[in-house]
Amino acid sequence: MAFQPLGKRVLIERVEEATTTASGIIIPDNVKEKPLNGKVIAVSKDVEDIVVNDTVLFGKYTGSELTLDGKEYLIMEDKEILGVLK
């Protein structure tokens, strides 16, 4: 299913965090926090500084969660994105 954000919104797929530390300790799922960065999947035509496939950083309580074709995404306005990771 194709999804086109409207207004100045961006569709983001969270980037999964590592499940083990550098020293090999396994982090249980109930302790992990949701990642605060993700890959841009779709961008509305009104957004200028962000493009598809950018990796972006966003705040902990920003965006709205939604599920499309069994995958979880966030949709948020471009002003909620803190920056693009290079």
Residue 82's region, left for phi above 0, alpha for psi from -120 to 50, else beta, is alpha
Q: In terms of residues, how long is the chain?
A: 86
Q: Please indicate, yes or no, if residue 21 is contained in any of the structural domains.
A: yes
| 86 residues of the chain, pLDDT tens digit each | 689 999 999 999 998 765 665 676 665 555 556 768 999 999 999 999 999 999 999 998 999 999 999 999 999 999 999 999 98
What pLDDT is stored for residue 27 in this prediction? 59
Q: Please indicate, yes or no, if residue 69 is contained in any of the structural domains.
A: yes
What pLDDT is stored for residue 2 in this prediction? 84
What range does the domain containing 58 cover? Answer: 9-85
What pLDDT is stored for residue 32 in this prediction? 53
Q: Smallest Cα–Cα separation from 63: which of 12, 18, 29, 23?
A: 12
Within 10 A of 10 (CB to CB), how many other CB atoms are there? 26
The token duo for 41 is 């999947």
Instruction: Please state the pTM of the whole predicted model.
Output: 0.80
What pLDDT is stored for residue 52 in this prediction? 96
Number of domains in the chain: 1
Q: What are phi and psi of 79, to 5 degrees?
A: -70, -15
What pLDDT is stored for residue 13 in this prediction? 95
What pLDDT is stored for residue 15 in this prediction? 84
Q: How many CA atoms does the CB half-sphere of 31 hold within 13 Å?
A: 8
Q: Please indicate, yes or no, if residue 77 is contained in any of the structural domains.
A: yes
